[in-house]
Amino acid sequence: MDYMVRGIAANGKLRAFAAVTTDLVAEAVRVHDLSPVAAAALGRVLTAAGMMAMDSKNDTDVLSVIVKGSGPLGSIVSVAAANGTLKGYVDQPRVDIPLNEDGKLDVGRAVGPEGKLTVIKDLGLKEPYVGQTNLVTGEIGDDLANYFMISEQQPSVVALGVLINPDWSVRAAGGYIIQPLPGADDEVIDKLEQKLAQVPAVSRLAADGNTPEEILHILLEDFDPKVLSKTPMQFKCDCNRERLERVVLSLGREELMDIIETEEKTELVCHYCNTRYEFTREELQTLLEKA
């Protein structure tokens, strides 16, 4: 079972999140039939959204991360609940482009360096919080670090990774976020930067079998890290027929009447999990009468 942890280090001067999301990303690949580069991109966004949602105060809080770049993938969307359930999709799941000059999946090119990263936090208030920044590389981790700095004035190290096997299955996936807190002096930050420059990529740490706790320890072993909480993670859509009925009704009376008159049945497909919901003419007529 995938999970993430939240912890502190350096006597409360650093806080950190670490996650292993191999099974979660593999399920996203299965549901959406993702190409390797689409799997890497969506997997990074899902992993990041899950860790960011872990910072929520209430179990009902929901956080969305939307990456809309200039590359062929189009929009990448992830929705994360505070309890660790995530869903997401990418506009063009079968995009296939050449590897980059280092022989790795070229997520930056597939996402595109121009575009927007949007974070939406639904905290149960009248209006959700919306923060938006420009993409800087399309690699997701860099773009989120830029978002934290500009939109939340929080310096952050964000590392995200997905390893794909030659048969397009997911070998490993994971990520971490480290943030200095008030009181973190230059010595702590310099020491942290030196340490992070020496550790392997987070996808490699996950592929080697390290747990989130062990990843946190590897990253922060010089700072006496302490794990504060642990949350399971899974790719799970919360769509249902009742919710799709509301979508049908949102089309409006005139359009719904037109469908009833011209179609024997209509089908809606959930973006997040590809579940298909079929409505017959009689069912649509009943919905219209109830409305």
User: 281 and 196 in one domain?
Assistant: no
Report residue 291's pLDDT band, with 50, 70 and 90 as the boundaries: low
User: 166 and 152 in one domain?
Assistant: yes
User: 257 and 173 in one domain?
Assistant: no
pTM, to two decimals: 0.93
Which residues form the domain of 173?
Answer: 3-235
User: 285 and 172 in one domain?
Assistant: no
User: Residues 99-127: pLDDT tens digits?
Assistant: 999 889 999 999 998 999 999 998 777 78
User: 262 and 178 in one domain?
Assistant: no
- Strand blocks (E) in 3-84: 3-9, 14-20, 62-69, 75-81
The DSSP bridge partners found for residue 269 are 276
* Mean pLDDT for the stretch of residues 243-257: 82
User: Residues 189-219: pLDDT tens digits?
Assistant: 999 999 999 999 999 999 999 999 999 999 9
User: 24 and 104 in one domain?
Assistant: yes
User: 77 and 38 in one domain?
Assistant: yes
pLDDT of residue 287: 83
Classify residue 116 by burial, with Cβ atoms within 10 Å: 0-12, 13-18, 19+. Answer: middle
Residue 50's nearest CA partner among 25, 29, 13, 27 is 25
3 state DSSP class of 277: strand
User: Residues 172-196: pLDDT tens digits?
Assistant: 999 999 999 988 888 999 999 999 9
Indicate if the pLDDT at residue 252 is higher than 90.
no
User: Residues 1-33: pLDDT tens digits?
Assistant: 899 999 999 999 999 999 999 999 999 999 999
The CATH number of residue 89's host domain is: 3.55.30.10
User: 260 and 179 in one domain?
Assistant: no
Are residues 162 and 40 in contact, defined by beta-carbon separation less than 8 angstroms?
yes
Tally the domains of the chain: 2
User: 84 and 172 in one domain?
Assistant: yes
User: 246 and 176 in one domain?
Assistant: no
User: Residues 45-87: pLDDT tens digits?
Assistant: 999 999 999 988 777 889 999 999 999 999 999 999 999 999 9
What 8-state DSSP symbol labels residue 223?
A: G
235, 256, 271: which is the final residue of a domain? 235
User: 84 and 221 in one domain?
Assistant: yes
The CATH number of residue 274's host domain is: 3.90.1280.10
* Distances 246 to 35, 226, 249, 291 between C-alpha atoms, Å: 32, 45, 5, 10
212, 235, 258: which is the final residue of a domain? 235
User: 245 and 145 in one domain?
Assistant: no
